[in-house]
Amino acid sequence: MGDIRYDVAIVGAGPAGLSAAIVLAKAGVKVIVIERGRFPGSKNVMGGVFYTDCMKGVVDDFPGKAPVERHIVEQRMWLIDDESYVGFTHKNAKFDNQPYNCHTVFRAQFDKWLAQQATGAGALIINQTVVTEPIMEGDKVVGIRTDRPEGDIMADCVIAADGVNSFIAKSLGFRSNLKKNAVALGVKEIIGLDEKVINDRFNVSGSQGVTIEMTGSLFEGAEAMAFLYTNKKSVSLGVGMIIEDMIEHNINPNELMESLKAHPAISPLIEGGETKEYLAHMIPEGGYNEMPRLFGDGVMIAGDAAMMVNAVHREGSNLAITSGKLAAQTYLEAAEKGDFSADTLSVYADKLQESFVMKDLKKYKELPKLLQKNRHLLDKYPKLINDAAFELLKVDGISKQAKQRSIWKNMKQQIGFTRMLKDLYKIWRTVG
Amino acid sequence: MRLEDKLYLIGFKVDEVGGSHLAIKDRSLCVECEMKQCLYICPCGVYEIDEKKNEVSINYDACVECGTCRVSCDNIDWRYPRGGFGVAYKFG
């Protein structure tokens, strides 16, 4: 690898690492990014919605020529049960105004493009290389070791953006092993459909797109989160579940995926489609309380590696981009002082605290615990609401008052009045 | 759709030289294991019971490196494939 001393060494060419690389390279910093895949994005997966705002200061004319699929004008939220759903929809002509709020993307293509922006700005990206460990000098990170012969890279500062499995954060002792209840597994299929068929089925035209978020009991009483996002000539259909729940309910991810595809609300939307790719990836959903230490002497942690996912709002890549940007800015300030100690790099945590990243993660910090302790919130309520809607809308000679009484009785039997009040209070306290 | 047909759609570069990046630390623990979650939790069916040997076999060439097995079971020795090997998604 030639002369192997850089100002900054970044582990992982995903959104966090690449946004840091772009900001640093633009400022004239000598920066190297190590990526284990064949090309940046080749091992990266997400549901598929990328928010535009975070690109300010990274790629200002975004989307420009970036490989984006559709801009989202309508968002549907469904509480699902075995054969039904109760939904809420927001469609707004304002989402048709540029710059668009968000687009669907394919990460293998998007990250590749983002890497080209980094290279264009002057960063060096080395693919097909695994970072095996940080190089230490006492407690200070002074570089990274790779699986290439003579593959040590020395740097003033290392940014670990190595994703959900982050071995760097683990080996530095910044976090313990990932907990079964703090990570979800998401599986997804890209299902090819004719562009016109998508436009007709989702009532959109041009590059307009629709997202559907679903929650409820999808599969043998286990709580899952699912989504369907429209791309130009395909839809991304996926489902995620906390790993602890999957183990407990004996769930096979592919069977879960197949049951989603067979759901009466989904199957007509993908009918005639051809699966192009099957994907799986872990989602760090532990939230604020499960975040690792974010900085140390000569090192900062960004993106998924730092558990920066807002599961409530299906945001992650924008948190990653923002954290990469803030890590880069922190480095620039530290370089002026010529000091990369933990004390100086603590500014990174301050910047995160001041940004929406930590504010949002803090806001929902008790949610994972709430859902874990109150499984019925995602299991019983969607079912009760679906049953209630069906009962109210079915005309069968029974008076509305009798129907209301029976719905109420069912709710009291299933959950109980006091518990419902408590649940409402808890939910309001946690997400309100 | 069968899992085999889905796996066929994924791009892989299998490390024939380096071999498996996955291993079981202590096979005797598998014999005592009641949950056997590795057999159903993997989205790609990497872990199977080898009827002849009566032990868990690892089809590492179908691994998409998600890490779910690692989080699910402490008895799995999990590392990344060598640089450039393993899954390479087309869409992602």
List the end-to-end C-alpha distance of chain A, in Å, as a whole number: 52
Task: Evaluate whether ipTM surpasses 0.95.
Answer: yes
A·B CB contacts under 8 A: 131
Per-residue pLDDT averaged across B17-43, rounded?
Answer: 96
Q: From the list A43, A109, A276, which residue is nearest B87 (CB)?
A: A43
A1 touches chain B (CB under 8 A): no
**CA–CA distance, A361 with A358 (Å, rounded to integer):** 5
Residues of chain A with pLDDT under 50: 1-2
For residue B63, the chain A residue with the least C-alpha distance is: A280
CB contact under 8 A, B64 and A250: no
What residues of chain B lie within 8 A of the CB of A13, using their CB? Answer: none
Query: A34 near A129, Cβ under 8 Å?
Result: yes
A108 touches chain B (CB under 8 A): yes
CB contact under 8 A, A247 and B72: yes
- Per-residue pLDDT at A427: 85
- Per-residue pLDDT at A3: 57
- Per-residue pLDDT at A220: 67
CB contact under 8 A, A276 and B9: yes
For residue A261, the chain B residue with the least C-alpha distance is: B1
For residue A14, the chain B residue with the least C-alpha distance is: B92
A181 touches chain B (CB under 8 A): no
A107 touches chain B (CB under 8 A): yes
Place of tokens 């990266």: A44
B12 touches chain A (CB under 8 A): no
CB contact under 8 A, B6 and A41: no
- Using the 8-state DSSP alphabet, how is residue B88 labeled? -
CB contact under 8 A, A127 and B40: no
- Per-residue pLDDT at A353: 98
Chain A residues 5-44 with CB within 8 Å of chain B: 36-39, 41-44
Q: Chain B closest CA to A339's CA: distance in Å? A: 32
- Per-residue pLDDT at A372: 81
Query: B46 near B60, Cβ under 8 Å?
Result: yes
Global confidence as pTM: 0.96
- Per-residue pLDDT at A35: 98
A3 Cβ contact partners less than 8 Å away, ≥ 6 residues apart: none
Tokens of A195: 């562009």
| Closest by Cα among B47, B84, B53, B74 to A178 | B74
- Per-residue pLDDT at A376: 78
For residue A283, the chain B residue with the least C-alpha distance is: B66
Q: From the list A127, A250, A280, which residue is nearest B43 (CB)?
A: A280
**CA–CA distance, A22 with A18 (Å, rounded to integer):** 6
Tokens of A229: 């996002």
CB contact under 8 A, B90 and A277: yes
Encode pLDDT of A215-272 as tens digits: 987 766 678 899 999 999 999 999 999 999 999 999 999 999 999 999 999 999 999 9
* Pick among B66, B73, B78 to test the A interface (most A CBs inside 10 A): B66
Encode pLDDT of A343-370 as tens digits: 999 999 999 999 999 999 999 999 888 8
- Per-residue pLDDT at A423: 87
Q: From the list A127, A246, A275, which residue is nearest B9 (CB)?
A: A275
Q: Chain B closest CA to A327's CA: distance in Å? A: 25
